Amino acid sequence: MITPTACGVTSEVGRLRTVLLHRPGAELRRLTPRNNDELLFDGVPWVARAQEEHDAFAAALTERGVEVLHLDRLLAEVMAVPAARAEVIAEAVDDPRLGATLRHATSAHLEGLAPDDLAAALIAGVAHDELRGGRGLAYELMARGEFVVPPLPNLMFTRDSSVWVGGQVAVTSLAMPARDRESALTAALYAHHPRFAGVEQLYGAHLEHLEGGDVLLLAPGVLAVGVGERTTAGGAERLARRVFARGLAHTVLVVPIAQERATMHLDTICTMVDVDALVMYPAVADHLQAWTVTAGPELPDAADTTELSVQGPQPFLIAAAAAMGIDRLRVIDTGLDPVTAEREQWDDGNNTLALAPRLAVAYERNTVTNAALEAAGIEVVAIAGSELGSGRGGPRCMSCPVLRDPLPTA
């Protein structure tokens, strides 16, 4: 029997103990030159190599004492729970393309699957010619290879669909249609798996858009939230009210970022590598701004209506240092020329996963950024990512920390 275990994250760099990953599988084999743009990939990855790279990533974490949880395995266990099955099947068929007849047929098909097979179908999708009992006008007009239930190739970026703040988990609201079903799976996981029994969900997929790649836990009680292509100002505001009401944070820094694919999340621009240091894309280091949000004079409540105090803007580095209670927040100087900086930022050079203070996982191909990190005293665990990176995500994107050690108090 699986019993609840400790969960909670209060920083980006506390010693990582448990992490949620998803090994890419059959869903990547659904990508074609015809659909890869719609499914948010820059190309069609070599699936076997992507799996080898992901296995090496997981092994590197395990070798350093990190417990690795696999999303698909946990989901298969949860699919034995009737309430969880009903929730995710309802979400899978909630698609206006289908119509009532095909929606009913698809539900019946999914309901008839064993837990392992259901989990696999929800992740890899169900194509027209795979659907048992398909019927109705929508079914007849579909092409043979069209998806009745679309695949979720971005599920390997587990950071985005949930993020832990203290001992609670925010199941996020994903902005892109190709990803909106991911949150239903993570919500079911946290609600029904015994591993997470009793865990409160801080946010929900029905709320304003908010993605985990835009949320940085700079220090205990201090969050930075990027607002751009994927996270809205309304999402940042809602999260701020909720973390204040539940005593999970005292300050939220709201950081506008360019609404571009290269900077889709705040963690594509900067990530923490020490308690007082981050690696940052040089092109934005000097002009990134932040608004400082704190609770207003009223006591925070759970109604999401508490007035907030908003101050700024200020340079992000100054606002962050003040909120963290330190003299300054160090930026690792990569010394990159503009062309190299743009290349390595595109290749997720700033998207590192801290395993502990001054210890971070990074893609091996970003050689100049990694050398600068090493020169600054940051040990780099370099991993391959030539195929994993085709979905635009690095080690931080591919990992959802579930448990980190608290940082030592001064």
**Catalytic residues, which ones?**
397
Q: Which residues contact 364 (CB under 8 A, 6 or more apart)?
A: 370, 382, 383, 384, 385
Tokens of 314: 């200020």
Does the N-terminal peptide bond of residue 313 adopt cis geometry, omega within 30 degrees of 0?
Answer: yes
Residue 210, beta-bridge partner list = 173
Pairing of strands 270-274, 277-280: antiparallel
* Under 8 Å between Cβ of 182 and 161: yes
- E strand or H helix that includes residue 237: helix 233-245
Tokens of 276: 């007082």
Tokens of 340: 């190299």
* Under 8 Å between Cβ of 388 and 46: no
- Other beta carbons within 10 Å of 189: 24
Q: Give the span between the Cα atoms of 130 and 142, in whole angstroms.
A: 13
Tokens of 318: 């100054």
Q: Give the span between the Cα atoms of 197 and 185, in whole angstroms.
A: 16
- E strand or H helix that includes residue 400: strand 400-404
Half-sphere exposure of residue 262: CA atoms within 13 angstroms, side-chain side: 12
Cβ contacts of 103-111, under 8 Å, gap ≥ 24: 105/131, 105/133, 105/134, 105/135, 105/136, 105/139, 106/131, 106/134, 106/148, 106/149, 108/133, 109/133, 109/134, 110/149, 111/85
Q: Give the span between the Cα atoms of 32 and 150, in whole angstroms.
A: 13
